[in-house]
Amino acid sequence: MDTLWDNIEKLSAVCRAASSHLPDEELKVLQVGEVAEEASEAMHALHGLKGLTTWGDAHTWSEVQNDLVGAVFAALLAMHYIDPTGARAASDEIIHRRTRRSREAAAAA
């Protein structure tokens, strides 16, 4: 079974092939922008779910989740574009560092 990062690497290869006409730096910048766009879509869906839009488009929690996963995938893909060989390790290190307090609190409990 493919891991999340295996799927990110496959998606990266497909996206890089489709964008081969773009310089590498531009591709990185565009992908970081895609993270913001996907997160914005999740926020829009949340507004629709809560009835906070003026045009009456209703949304569900499932749509919010779908857009959040899109933002996560976009972020991991951006990390892979930035450093194809080190993205997995960087992700693991960042997650380890950002969850240190919760691990310490769990150990103390």
Q: What's the CA gap between 94 and 106, in Å, rounded?
A: 19
* Residue located via tokens 């970081």: 32
Position 55 pLDDT exceeds 90: no
pLDDT tens string 58-105 = 889 999 999 999 999 999 999 999 999 999 999 999 999 999 999 898
Indicate whether 48 pLDDT > 70.
yes
Residue 78 in contact with residue 35, Cβ under 8 Å? Answer: yes
Neighbour tally for 30: CB within 10 Å: 13
Buried b (16+ CB within 10 A) or exposed e, 43-64: ebbbebbeeeeeeeeebeeebb
Distance of CA 92 to the CA centre of its chain: 15
> Can you tell me the mean pLDDT for 2-28?
94
pLDDT of residue 1: 66
